[in-house]
Structure 1
């Protein structure tokens, strides 16, 4: 009986997560690099500056590290994510939709299958 209850809780949790994804909501920390920060980095890089001199001028606006500077790695990560979104528009949404469809699909129990 406990196994059945656990499976019911698991299924309802997954359904709730899928619903949240479809509504465009996601769990986790908010991004450290805001759109304004990213715009500043891109503008200054277009002028020939590297990331290292730009990074000290960026200030995290919210969260636990509010008022501090983001790491150089965070800046590079945000730039890579932006490049990925520009290169493959809609790929992230399609991947989320595919993953949600796979999680909702009912696969047969492998122990019940017979080999012929």
Structure 2
């Protein structure tokens, strides 16, 4: 079950990445930042999209290959992404408004710990 959840999480990361490439203005708004404040930086969203697609494919690929411990290790490392996104968004929105970026943190930590501790 944990590997299925990890595969779904990887697919979700890929979808988020596609959204950042396909419609960067909408992705910035979904991130919680007013795109009019980011006129010069909105060009960076496709780069973040590629990052999310690559990370999603890694998680998805390891989960589908049934590599539980490797998937868990990657998810634990990926726990840094929501923390970084929170810090970035908090600079623009304030910590209270940016807290939604931490939603993925318990998911990646718990799922990562469950999978990383799985016996081989």
> Under a length normalisation based on structure 2, what TM-score does the superposition of the two structures give?
0.31
More contact order relative to length (CA 8 Å, sep ≥ 6) = 2
From the two aligned structures, give the one with the greater helix fraction.
2
TM-score, normalised on structure 1? 0.32
Greater radius of gyration (CA): 1
